[in-house]
Copies of this chain bind each other. A is one copy, B any other.
Amino acid sequence: MTNIAILGFGTVGSGVYEVLTRNGANFCPDINIKHILDLRTFPDHPLADRVTADFDKILNDKKVSVVVETMGGTGAAYKFSLAALQAGKHVVTSNKACVDKYGEELERVAAENGVCYLYEASVGGGIPVIAPLKECFAGDKILRIAGILNGTTNYILTHMQTEGKALQDMVKVAQELGYAEADPHADLAGLDSARKISILAGIAHGRYISYESIPYVEGIEEVTLQDIRLAAEMGCVIRLIAKAVLVGEKLSISVAPHVVAATSMLNSVCEAFNAISVTGDCVGEVMFYGAGAGSLPTAAAVVGDIARVVTGSAKPAMPRKACEEGFIIAENDEEKFITLKNGKKYRYFE
């Protein structure tokens, strides 16, 4: 029997329960959710008796081999993940903030204890991109990663275009529909995208890169309906794109709204969907597309990671370098720009 514990029974955590109940037997006939850590109680839930507010109960339970961290934040989430890894338990998470801030330490401690710290769900929701990037692109030097990594802003940009609504109006709609949070700043300002591109770029280039080291982060706050209409006249759309581009031996990382050419596959990415384009020197451009958020898609990615540790196909992470000073640069001489008819200049994505 494989016993797991879920830390945080919110949107993603309860999704993990749902996905495991539906399909867990596919990869592990006797997988068992032994504990659920939450300060709340869930009296009507089938697993009500497994809910505890005491993390030590989980930590000291030698039968628990996998801890699922779906709490969010970088406080208790970090502390509990670290303790679980030190106790020789695998940790699987969807928490991009914790991966961004503490990934270096947590992966190192995991490797020291012969276990895994996995975070497929932290970028691109249900889209498998981290495992393929770690394992399938070994034959490539990654020249570029470019992604629509934030579903909220993509939903807003899509519907500004289709409904002719201004940014602030669409933000309100997105909040009402649950796509945007009460404080939408991290999404709108590009910070969420910055965290995700820093995780992907770090994996691709064998370093730990914090989003705080990204020199250029611009959100969608200044994108107007007129801009979107003028872009549309050229068959283009405006999308918030996070990019990590290899320039010689350095890496240019940026987040900014781009005018996306009609010929690019990213042009077709609408609604709250995400897409990640990875270009290697051998494989060329490969793109991954799917639901970037949501309870079940994100939980499906978490469960994919659980399956990878249970079946033994995931290995402790290969060591990465610290990110040396000067490796990340703002300038990219090959950046292309386009000026709209109203005189506004945008980055151009082909």
- Which chain A residues have a beta carbon within 8 Å of chain B's beta carbons? 15, 18-20, 22-24, 26-27, 120, 126-128, 131-132, 135-141, 265, 267-268, 280-291, 294, 296-297, 299-304, 306-308, 311-315, 318
| Contact in complex: B135, A131 (CB < 8 Å) | yes
Instruction: Give the residue name and chain of the B residue nearest to A26 (CB).
Output: B138
16 contacts between A and B (CB under 8 A): A15-B282, A23-B282, A26-B138, A120-B136, A128-B137, A131-B132, A132-B136, A138-B304, A139-B304, A139-B306, A265-B265, A282-B303, A283-B291, A283-B301, A284-B297, A288-B289
Please give, as numbers and ranges, the residues of chain B lying within 8 Å of A18 by CB-CB distance: 282
CA distance A318 to B267 in the complex (A): 39
| Contact in complex: B282, A135 (CB < 8 Å) | no
Instruction: Count copies of this chain in the complex.
Output: 2
Please give, as numbers and ranges, the residues of chain B lying within 8 Å of A131 by CB-CB distance: 131-132, 135-136
Q: Which of B120, B280, B299, B315 touches A300 (beta carbons < 8 Å)? A: B280
| Contact in complex: B139, A303 (CB < 8 Å) | yes
Q: Which of B120, B139, B303, B304 touches A19 (beta carbons < 8 Å)? A: B139
Please give, as numbers and ranges, the residues of chain B lying within 8 Å of A302 by CB-CB distance: 139
| Contact in complex: A284, B318 (CB < 8 Å) | no
| Contact in complex: B288, A288 (CB < 8 Å) | yes
Please give, as numbers and ranges, the residues of chain B lying within 8 Å of A291 by CB-CB distance: 283-286
